[in-house]
Structure 1
């Protein structure tokens, strides 16, 4: 009998295969600027970070890796970004195509705006949108780098392409040692990158819905409405919080003009949710801003996009559940629609398991190092949420700590998809129900 691999397992195996291939590729002498093969732990960590589009690095990407190595990295996070979007979308369609599982709300919520067309066509649309956005951004950055910063055409084109792909895939890799700090006052660089980060991280189902129903918001799917409204609240809240807590910080926004403070506060709010770029020293942020980052990185972006985290839709469903419970309503409702009980249970499960992973990993990391707890928490959440930001301690971690971060990157990037799909596929009606009883809660 032919064994059929579970779709969710196939996604995890595909990512593992890409990580192994990327590690071997980066260990080649040609991939390193010094002409000597990179150590296995450096190659493995970098490959995981690239394939899982996280952006964490333990070496200087621009100086350590040769042009060949940088191209390899670009290919890895390009495949990771496109692969994640395609896999999540196609998994949703595969589940939704089954007549027995048509009522499974969680995956249906991710794919309902897509219809049930040929999966190959869906994949082609994902790739087309990705290519169009990345090419547009690459051209815009190239022109700005050449005319605004005096870079030669070749250097401007490569930097524009690398950062354009990295921004749309939410990978967060930069070939500059200081990230994007040198562009902190350049709105022509930061605004297009913010737009690309949001488009890539909002999720393909939302983009597909907007493409077909842009002028008719009444017919947007509930998933689209929750993702857009939730993302707007997070972006605005993050912007105001960063602006408030960093306004007088002499090491970050303090010396900036009003316009640059506004620009960089918004960029930090956008990048914190999954992109991993920085225009200021993350290690110099106030502890209050770090706390804001904890939340933004953990939540992440939209489902079936390039973003990480537990996803905006998950938090939105939980928020609606809390509001309904506080009001004493039997149903959880939003925008004239009722959220199904399966979606609520799955949202709770994703949040609880995600929180458990972060808590356990934090304890283990504290055991492995003697670094401050708040910096360890930041590092762990950044890895799990595929945010890629760091206070600067990543290169100083022991190999065991770096491997733990690599595992977190993989779990945070692949685990949320496989978990959600497994929950849907595993749901079944029991032929009996136990007597109901209400334990005391709260």
Structure 2
């Protein structure tokens, strides 16, 4: 009898296959500027980071890799971002719409805004949104680099295209050794990139909902409302908090005029949620800013998006659950709707498993390195959350530490719930229920 591969397992194996192929390509001599091909660990780490659209790197992308190598890296994070959006959407459609599935996969990639419908049409829509956004941002960046920085057309077009794709896919790779620090204060570069990061990070279900009902917010899905409200709150709140924390820090925003401070804090707030770019020195941030980054990187972006993290809607559901419990309400509600018990259990599961992965990763990395604890926590959270930001210790980690980061990047990208569902191929409804009892809590 033919065995049908579970959709969730297919997603996990698909990413693994892409990583293996990417590693082999980056090991070719043509992919590196030096005389020989890249070492296995360097190629593997870069491939994982690119396919998982993370952005962490152990070598400088712009100088270590040749044009061919950079092209392969861009192709990998383009496929990783587009593939994740498509896979998450189609996986949700299969899970929620097919009566033949024996197991309802517990997944945080919410796609209930879509019907099963024409799968090919859904994939085409994702494709159009992805490339349309990237082409527009690439054109804007190319023109700015050409006329604002006098770069030759070829160099401006390549840099504009590379960073546009990296921004929309939330990959965070840059061909500049200082990431976006050379453009600090340039609103015509940073603002388009922020828009690309946000659009790519809100999630395809939200974009699909807005496309069909942009004129009627009352009928937006609850997922769309939670994601947009949560995203706006995190962006504004993150900007204000980072601005206050770095206001007097002369190594970051302290010596800048007010408009540049606002732009820099806004860019940090946007990029911290899985984008991976930095316009200031991350290693020079205050302890308060580092702690805020832990929070933002762990949450990430929208479900079924190019972003990582446990997702905005997941945390929003938990916050609403806590508020309902504090107020003594039997139901968890938002925007005139009641949130189902299964969604609440899934949100708790995602956050608990994600937290466990971050804690375990931190403990292991502390055991094999001598770096400060705050830098270790930052690195682990960045890897798991797909942020790609670093305090500068990634390349200095021992091979065991770098391999640990690759595992965290993979787990964070595929998703703790999707990975767990891929391991549980069989599921059945129990024909009985135990008697209920209430243990003491607190």
TM range (shorter): over 0.9
Q: How does 1:287-366 map to 2 (within 5 A)?
A: 287-366=287-366
Aligned partners of 2:95 and 2:105 also within 8 Å: no
Alpha-carbon spacing, 1:139–1:102, altered in 2? closer, same or farther (3 Å): farther
Match of 1:34 in 2: 34
Report the TM-score, using the length of structure 1 for normalisation.
0.97
Q: Tell me how far apart the structure 2 counterparts of residues 108 and 39 of structure 1 sit (CA, whole Å).
A: 36
**Any stretches of 5+ residues in structure 1 without a counterpart?**
none
The Cα of 1:202 is off from its aligned counterpart by 0.5
Q: Tell me how far apart the structure 2 counterparts of residues 196 and 141 of structure 1 sit (CA, whole Å).
A: 11
Alpha-carbon spacing, 1:289–1:108, altered in 2? closer, same or farther (3 Å): closer
Match of 1:12 in 2: 12
Residue 110 of structure 1 aligns to a residue whose secondary structure is: coil
Q: Deviations over 1:103-137 (max 9, x none)?
A: 96966982222222211111111011100000000
Report the TM-score, using the length of structure 2 for normalisation.
0.97
Aligned partners of 2:107 and 2:346 also within 8 Å: no
Residue 305 of structure 2 aligns to a residue whose secondary structure is: coil
Q: Deviations over 1:280-318 (max 9, x none)?
A: 000000010000000000000000000000001110110
Match of 2:193 in 1: 193
Aligned partners of 1:92 and 1:111 also within 8 Å: yes
After superposing on structure 2, the runs of 4+ consecutive aligned residues of structure 1 that deviate more than 4 Å are 100-109, 419-428
Q: Tell me how far apart the structure 1 counterparts of residues 349 and 250 of structure 2 sit (CA, whole Å).
A: 42
Alpha-carbon spacing, 1:103–1:360, altered in 2? closer, same or farther (3 Å): closer
Q: How does 1:259-274 map to 2 (within 5 A)?
A: 259-274=259-274
Match of 2:163 in 1: 163
Match of 2:281 in 1: 281
Aligned partners of 2:61 and 2:175 also within 8 Å: yes
The Cα of 1:35 is off from its aligned counterpart by 3.1
Aligned partners of 1:383 and 1:408 also within 8 Å: yes
Number of positions where the alignment pairs a residue of Structure 1 with one of Structure 2: 442
Q: Tell me how far apart the structure 2 counterparts of residues 335 and 45 of structure 1 sit (CA, whole Å).
A: 43
Q: Tell me how far apart the structure 1 counterparts of residues 418 and 194 of structure 2 sit (CA, whole Å).
A: 28
The Cα of 1:71 is off from its aligned counterpart by 0.3
Residue 99 of structure 1 aligns to a residue whose secondary structure is: coil
Aligned partners of 2:108 and 2:347 also within 8 Å: no
Alpha-carbon spacing, 1:105–1:21, altered in 2? closer, same or farther (3 Å): closer
Match of 1:206 in 2: 206
Aligned partners of 2:88 and 2:109 also within 8 Å: no
